[in-house]
Amino acid sequence: MFINGQWAIPEKKNTFTVLNPATGETIATVPDGGEKETRLAVTAAHDALDTWAAATAYRRSDFLYRAHTLMMDNLEHLAQTMTLEQGKPIKAARNEVKYGADFLLWFAEEAKRVYGRTIPSARSDQRFMVLKQPVGVVGAITPWNYPVSMITRKVAPALAAGCTIVLKPAEATPLCAIEVFKLLEKAGLPAGVANLVTARDPNPVGEVFLTDERVRKLTFTGSTQVGKMLAREAAAQMKRVSLELGGHAPFIVCKDADPVHAAKGLSLLKFLNTGQACISPNRIFVHESMKEPFLKELSSRVFKMKAGPGSEAGVSIGPLVNDTAVEKVDNQVKDAVAKGAKLVTGGFRLMENGLDKGHFYAPTILDNVTPEMLIYREETFGPVAPVISYQDEKELLTMANDTRYGLAAYVYSQNLSKAMLLFEGLNFGIIGINDINPTSAAAPFGGMKESGLGREGAIEGIEEYLETKLGGFSLK
Ligand code: ADP
């Protein structure tokens, strides 16, 4: 834990272990923070707030530039820590560190562009002026699937805006958070501006964030279930909330699409992070005329995928986070098969070659998926590609929008006007058009409906940490 510029030395009894999801081995022991530590961290953040908010934007920006340089200098070490702790293949871990560092750079730049404005008044003796000011102390909660970039995506805009922050990382990935905070410390951040509370049990930490009046803003990435609870409870003190929650992305292959290009895109996107991403496709709508070439290309690519520890060469399928995740995936696959889906490949837990000690599931393709199946509605968060064929493109929008989620959607079409109409009609916050990676620190990320509130990254990302203050000046 890093509170008020100090690293806490854990007493032996207040620790928890971190496991390698590829081997089940214990890799570290970290401090287990609770109510007391969170309260101390909030006090530190509160005490540091006025000075940090009053620092010039240039000073805050300098600090973020330094943090960015340090993160790039330490890319390999962070990536190795991530692969060990979270399981993703080392190449993907390196990409994530770069993506994470991008937020530090982007918000180093945006810190200097927090503009207010003046507004003409109807009265000649009056002036209006709008000022943007930091929201105050931020409580941040991050998930394990992107354990570096989800931290910088929150910490960088908060600090750029002049807020101070207390972060609670996921219990499965505290080591990545510790490494990120070591870099923030090295960058010379004043004590109390960014604080880290690692915890095995998120509840007491969340409770302090929700009930301590000094915390003015909650930012959360995780499940819709927890997000809804946090939003409900935060309303008691009318705290500002930003929520990045679950998704159930449609991936639409139109009848004029290039099926091979679409299948290649899907194979890269669906199995990225072993399907553990909120923007992972969860319903793959393929026009029936495209299904054969699409499935042929997809399965030939999936057959070649190698599962194993992320540190091994050639591995593209890492472990799932834990046994519960494996069971959930397997349950969805069994349910689909029982209801008539066809298993093209996969559909089982991987147990051979030492993989039984970790949480590995075979990359899976399901064909003939229908709305009655669990996988059609529930987020999978695993390496399963459920294919649904359709005939009439007029029904596409209704089918694709038929979900309580609204985070990401993907469209493959060679017809510009069709792609444009789908882009406009899909009720999702992020749409990839013939593109599998519509994410960047420069682009707004976030969802509609039960996928959340607010946006991260881009110019919108810093707005989430700013209050708008109006001044009406009478010249009389
Ligand atoms: P997942 O199912 O992906 O693990 P969660 O929403 O459970 O998603 O976890 C995302 C983050 O939310 C983690 O940091 C976790 O510790 C935290 N979290 C889970 N439950 C609570 C809670 N009751 N209060 C505060 N944070 C929570």
From ligand 1's centre to the CA of 32, what distance in Å?
15
Residue 11 has pLDDT above 80, yes or no: no
Q: What is the dihedral of CA 401, 403, 409, 412, to 10 degrees?
A: -60
Which residue's alpha carbon is at the smallest distance from atom 25 of ligand 1?
A: 206
- Domain presence at residue 198: yes
Same domain, yes or no: 312 and 231: no
CA pair distance 391, 113, nearest whole angstrom: 49
Please list, in sequence order, all residues whose beta carbon lies within 8 angstroms of the beta carbon of residue 209, skipping any fewer than 6 positions away: 38, 42, 139, 141, 166, 168, 215, 218
Residue 12 has pLDDT above 70, yes or no: no
Residues recognised as catalytic: 244, 278
Ligand 1 contact, 21 CB (< 6 A): no
Q: Which atom of ligand 1 is nearest to the CA of 145?
A: 3
Residue 466 has pLDDT above 80, yes or no: yes
Chain centroid to Cα 79, Å, comes to 17
| Across 48-63, average pLDDT | 98
Same domain, yes or no: 288 and 422: yes
Domain range spanning residue 435? 249-440
Is residue 313 classed as helix, strand or coil in its secondary structure?
coil
- Give the model confidence (pLDDT) of 173-186 as tens digits: 999 999 999 999 99
Amino acid identity for residue 443 in this structure: A
| Across 33-48, average pLDDT | 97
Same domain, yes or no: 267 and 359: yes
Q: Are strands 408-412 and 430-433 parallel, antiparallel or unpaired?
A: parallel
What's the CATH code of the domain at 198? 3.40.605.10
Same domain, yes or no: 169 and 99: yes
- Domain presence at residue 101: yes
| Across 39-67, average pLDDT | 98
Same domain, yes or no: 418 and 467: no
- The pLDDT, as a whole number, for residue 43 is 98
CA pair distance 168, 177, nearest whole angstrom: 9
Residue 103 has pLDDT above 70, yes or no: yes
Same domain, yes or no: 378 and 390: yes
Ligand 1 contact, 247 CB (< 6 A): no
Which residue's alpha carbon is at the smallest distance from atom 14 of ligand 1?
A: 170
Residue 10 has pLDDT above 70, yes or no: no
Same domain, yes or no: 190 and 257: no
Q: Which atom of ligand 1 is nearest to the CA of 209?
A: 25
Q: How many residues does the chain have?
A: 476
- Domain presence at residue 445: no
Same domain, yes or no: 364 and 456: no
- Domain presence at residue 344: yes
Place of tokens 């969805």: 332
- The pLDDT, as a whole number, for residue 13 is 73
| Across 280-285, average pLDDT | 98
Q: What average pLDDT is seen over the chain? A: 97
What's the CATH code of the domain at 275? 3.40.309.10
- The pLDDT, as a whole number, for residue 8 is 83
CA pair distance 430, 433, nearest whole angstrom: 10
From ligand 1's centre to the CA of 245, what distance in Å?
11
Structural domain count, the chain: 2
DSSP state letters, 323-391: HHHHHHHHHHHHHHHHTT-EEEE--SB--TTTGGGTT-B--EEEES--TTSHHHHS---SSEEEEEEES
From ligand 1's centre to the CA of 43, what distance in Å?
23
Same domain, yes or no: 390 and 352: yes
Q: What is the DSSP letter of 288?
A: G
Place of tokens 């909660």: 141
Same domain, yes or no: 174 and 217: yes
Same domain, yes or no: 187 and 38: yes
Same domain, yes or no: 382 and 409: yes
